[in-house]
Amino acid sequence: RFLLSGNLHGGSVVASYPYDDSPTHKPTGVYSKSADDEVFKYLAKAYASHHPIMRTGKPNCPGEEEETFQDGITNGAQWYDVEGGMQDYNYVWANCFEITLELSCCKYPPTSELTGTLSLRSLRRLLHCFPQVHIGVKGFVRDAVTGAGLENATIVVAGIAHNITAGKFGDYHRLLVPGTYNVTAVVMGYAPVTRENIEVKEGAATEVDFSLQPTVMPPALNVTQLTATPAPVSTVTPTPVQAEAPSPTSLHQPVQPVDFRHHHFSDMEIFLRRYANEYPNITRLYSVGKSVELRELYVMEISDNPGVHEAGEPEFKYIGNMHGNEVVGRELLLNLIEYLCKNFGTDPQVTDLVRSTRIHIMPSMNPDGYEKSQEGDRGGTVGRNNSNNYDLNRNFPDQFFHVTDPLQPETLAVMTWLKTYPFVLSANLHGGSLVVNYPFDDDEQGIAIYSKSPDDAVFQQLALSYSKENTKMYQGSPCKDMYPTEYFPHGITNGAQWYNVPGGMQDWNYLHTNCFEVTIELGCVKYPEAEELPKYWEQNHRSLLQFMKQVHRGVWGFVLDAMDGRGILNATISVADIDHPVTTYKDGDYWRLLVQGKYRITASARGYDPVTKTVEVGSKGGVQVNFTLSRTDIKVEKGKVPVLNTPDTSDPNEKEFETLIKDLSAENGLERLLLTSSGDVSPYRYRPYKDLSEFLRGLYLNYPHITNLTSLGQSVEFRQIWSLEISNKPNQSEPEEPKIRFVAGIHGNAPVGTELLLALAEFLCMNYKKNTAVTKLIDRTRIVIVPSLNPDGREIAQERGCTSKIGQTNAHGRDLDTDFTSNYSRYSGTREPETRAIIENLILKQDFSLSVALDGGSLLVTYPYDKPAQTVENKETLKHLASLYANNHPLMHLGQPGCPNKSDENIPGGVIRGSEWHSHLGSMKDFSVMFGHCPEITVYTSCCYFPSAGQLPGLWADHRKSLLSMLVEVHKGVHGFVQDKSGKAISKATIVLNEGLKVYTKEGGYFHVLLAPGLHNINAIADGYQEKHVKVFVRHDAPSSVFIVFDTENRIFGLPRELVVTVAGASMSALVLTACIIWCVCSIKSNRHKDGFHRLRQHHDDYEDEIRMMSTGSKKSLLSHEFQDETDTEEETLYSSKH
């Protein structure tokens, strides 16, 4: 509650105080005195006396030079009459004292005055007003018996006809000027108390507390309802509770509930708050959502460590009142809450159960229907359905039957709840019969026939554990007067065998979560008279406790990583011959309900070698079986590729940041960030182009050290396409920091994404240096936000146009998400200016690790590609990123967008490939992947393209966690550095991932790529170096680092050096051998010439001439020429010319 307020105006220099108008409404000159006139004058003077102009009483404003105000203050109506002024409203209706401060003759002074003495002086004077909020008298008004604060107690000051009221905790503060007063505290139902002669001095308020005696005393407390302090939380593995009934010979008698009545919603709400307040050590009251009529869907958690999932401790839930007119379950669960709270610490059975189990109790899933139902209803239907007239137990997605009814708020809330907690066992409490019904509830043929689940034996055991403790139920003939032929052996039945129920909640639990659920019909009468309720508790309370103990039956344990001993999230636990695997939770803990017997159980996880164990399950309690999995190819043997993991770092800052990423990736990590954040940035209106531009400039001017506002270009109609970067060094290059891009408004008729990104930007800026997690994320990330890519289309789009296409295209009528066609260099001249701007100045110019585009028209996420018949190289990673966004949204991951034009649409997990949902060419997403080498997902934020502004706060609440999860995820994947043996960084090296996706090293040899958790292959290639091949294991909650060192190139002409040398050597040898052979052959021929005839060399020239001359002569002419041998002896002459 506000205590003191100042309303800052312009147009004069004076402090004005109430009242602003008078009964006669005379334009001026009437002093309209309030009951606290002295206080108001005191407050006004506190400001005016420190103002150099105001305190003179002569503003000297142009045109009003003669206007004067004594001491620089004035009664509002005396100056001029203002009907409907805000300061009067504050005083009369809001406990708040407000004055109006006129700060300057000029209403809109030049900027030079704002940055000069005017702003500094005004700031100092405003600071002088702050201490006045502490004057007067203050204290608490409490109940004299209980000591509880009395909210809305009236504080009366004698002689002053203006009262104030106390706050939520009985706290009050009454502004008064120095003096002596008689003050009275008054509360209906209590005797008033007056404190006389209270002296109020200058400065801090005088503290006066009031203790009021109730005029009607409450009944005495039952001494048996005391609770013991719970034992400290143990760090050892919890011991399972034995699934046995309590000993009938026990001397201890537990405290039984006494609150037997029908609780309407307000009464139930008070009941739940009361027990949450009285037993804070073992309870936590929370809501999972709201009904159609906006009633909270409350859940009471009961545990020795409420609010925390303890590793190895199973979680259990009861749900009541799904059908509004079936009320016995609602009242039994309220009785159960009372019973568990009152007996914890004194009753061994209850204490063991609470310490070893995290229990969640939802008394009413259909509070709206309950309020319509009528006491005494035996078998009617009034109030059965919710306020939209849908049966909630026919509203869940079904395995055999397509449920066409839209998912109801209650259904969606419960589905989200079941996906949030690792429930192991559950029961849904109904009325109208007396039997335990187990899955399946329907079958393929849609007829009443036994529909057996893979865990049929387990379900029968669970059902019997309840019915055996209820004598009447176990007999099997529950409602003879209503259904004389109905018989259930041992009080249990298969759901579909009884009657076919498509869309039932218990089947959805079993098929879509790790939770086994049965439906318990508690009595033949749906809404019995209140006096009958104790009988229902007597019949069912042992069954309720015994059923809860079954959560500890079967096998439980942990699946751990052999390398670091950490738990493996989402590892699969499979039981041979039972086609129903379960998965591990965040600490690697799992629970698998089984009946007595021997089983072969296998634990497996992506990137790990599976492990199988044979397990013997007994008839009592559970068996702990832990699995330790080794990563695939974890050992580096000769000839094998090494597997690289995140190396230990000695840098404490790095370790601290890695811890932060892990914490934010854990369950409730982002919720904790949001809870500890400061400032409310919830959007409440749409901003047209001018307002958007001013908002972005405002962020830039107010946070200049972490923001940089630039224009990527202009639209067709010359509006700027703004880009806001948020980083600790927004104007510097930091290649080692991952970069993320958020883009909205590609379709102008879907502006929700624009407002979400503006809210995200403001949230980040406001929390910088205030929230540790946000500060570290900004310091380590380069965040680029493009809130409106199509500002022209946005300007003509119309609010509440849920299906309107007005504004979808740009001013040329072009859908921008079809304009990112082919390679930019070939068609850049024909692109739309908006497309060209983001391509040339963002997508291709800067290296991004992740891009998120926001659109409208449904509630889902798509991943590349949008064009048909395109192989997706990195599908697992792209789908992982899309799933991460959807899973952090309260509704998206359920896969039921529920849009009016496609009410039957079912998108598993809320994620689908773009071409399978809306196939088209030229999308930004496809271009980003193919040419920008950046993974991009498209988020469709709501079914309505342009919902009313009133829906924006809810949309922000739904999407903010998902948007922040992207900032966390961009730090995961693989971070790497590439260099040679000399330590030289190698930029522009090619990194090939899983033999498909390619990225390139940046300046300094750095690269970063997002990958789905698991084992991945990396090939590093650079000119002049040997190719490197490694494997890296990527975790879901931490980044992985690789350090690649290239060896000098060992290839010649693309062939291994050894092969080239060998071939070259062989070739040389062959050449030498060939030369030798030729020489030998030539030598032999030369020797033969020496033994024969040849021309005489000394007459060479003449001979040649003669030959040429005689070449046409007869052969005989040659015989007349002389030939000589080259020997020196005449004896060897064989022929000579005749003489």
458-508 confidence digits (pLDDT tens): 999 999 999 999 989 999 888 888 888 889 999 999 999 998 899 999 999
Asked if 221 and 599 count as a contact pair (C-beta separation under 8 A), the reply is no
**What are 395's two structure tokens?**
């509203």
The string of pLDDT tens digits covering residues 303-347 is 999 988 999 999 999 999 999 999 999 999 999 999 999 999 889
Distance CA 574, CA 597 (A): 15
Distance CA 1039, CA 1019 (A): 19
Question: In this structure, is the dihedral angle defined by the CA atoms of residues 683, 685, 689 and 692, taken in order, positive or negative?
Answer: negative
Asked if 526 and 380 count as a contact pair (C-beta separation under 8 A), the reply is yes
Predicted pLDDT at 647: 46
Asked if 330 and 367 count as a contact pair (C-beta separation under 8 A), the reply is no
pLDDT at 225 over 50: no
The string of pLDDT tens digits covering residues 809-861 is 999 999 999 999 865 444 455 889 999 999 999 999 878 999 999 999 999 99
Q: Mean pLDDT in the chain?
A: 86
Distance CA 858, CA 377 (A): 41
The string of pLDDT tens digits covering residues 549-596 is 999 999 999 999 888 888 888 899 999 999 999 999 988 999 999 999
Distance CA 1001, CA 988 (A): 5
pLDDT at 709 over 90: yes
Domains and CATH numbers, the chain: 4-134 (3.40.630.10), 137-214 (2.60.40.1120), 265-552 (3.40.630.10), 555-631 (2.60.40.1120), 679-970 (3.40.630.10), 975-1052 (2.60.40.1120)
Torsion of CA 553, 555, 556, 558, to 10 degrees: 180
Distance CA 257, CA 246 (A): 18
Predicted pLDDT at 939: 97
Q: How far is CA 21 from CA 29, 74, 98, 365, in A?
A: 10, 13, 15, 52
Predicted pLDDT at 1026: 81
pLDDT (mean) for 45-56:
90
Bridge partner residues of 616 (DSSP): 598
Helix (H, G, I), strand (E, B), or coil: what is residue 532? Answer: helix
pLDDT at 282 over 80: yes
DSSP code for 612: E
Question: In this structure, is the dihedral angle defined by the CA atoms of residues 302, 303, 306 and 308, taken in order, positive or negative?
Answer: negative
pLDDT (mean) for 270-284:
93
pLDDT at 144 over 70: yes
The string of pLDDT tens digits covering residues 601-614 is 999 988 889 999 99
The string of pLDDT tens digits covering residues 4-18 is 999 999 999 999 999
The string of pLDDT tens digits covering residues 940-964 is 999 999 999 888 998 998 999 999 9
Cβ neighbours for 1053, distance < 8 A, ≥ 6 positions apart = 1060
Predicted pLDDT at 50: 87
pLDDT (mean) for 245-257:
61
Residue 572: how many other CB atoms lie within 10 Å: 17
Asked if 322 and 365 count as a contact pair (C-beta separation under 8 A), the reply is yes
Cα of 518 vs its chain's centroid, Å: 31
Asked if 560 and 628 count as a contact pair (C-beta separation under 8 A), the reply is yes
Predicted pLDDT at 1137: 42
Torsion of CA 271, 275, 276, 282, to 10 degrees: -150
Distance CA 731, CA 709 (A): 10
Max Cα distance, the chain (Å): 177
Q: How far is CA 865 from CA 790, 839, 879, 886, 910, in A?
A: 22, 18, 11, 18, 16
The string of pLDDT tens digits covering residues 1050-1060 is 556 566 666 77
Name the helix (H) or strand (E) containing 165.
Answer: strand 164-165
896 versus 880: the higher-pLDDT residue is 880
By annotation, the residues acting in catalysis are 102, 521
Helix (H, G, I), strand (E, B), or coil: what is residue 395? Answer: coil
Q: How far is CA 854 from CA 448, 746, 887, 910, 937, in A?
A: 47, 8, 16, 15, 9
Predicted pLDDT at 231: 33
Distance CA 1088, CA 828 (A): 80
Inter-residue long-range contacts of 148-152, CB under 8 Å, 24+ positions, other chains counted: 150/187, 150/190, 150/212, 152/187
pLDDT at 904 over 80: no
pLDDT at 171 over 50: yes
Predicted pLDDT at 117: 46
Predicted pLDDT at 490: 94
**What are 702's two structure tokens?**
């107010």
Predicted pLDDT at 101: 94
**What are 546's two structure tokens?**
């015994």
The candidate with the shortest Cα–Cα distance to 8, out of 76, 101, 93, is 101
Q: Checking DSSP bridges between strand 554-561 and strand 283-290, what pairing results, if any?
A: unpaired
Confidence band, pLDDT 50/70/90 cuts, at residue 772: very high
The answer to whether the pTM exceeds 0.75 is no
Predicted pLDDT at 483: 84
Confidence band, pLDDT 50/70/90 cuts, at residue 651: low
228 versus 660: the higher-pLDDT residue is 660
Bridge partner residues of 504 (DSSP): none
Q: Checking DSSP bridges between strand 739-744 and strand 1006-1009, what pairing results, if any?
A: unpaired
Confidence band, pLDDT 50/70/90 cuts, at residue 224: very low
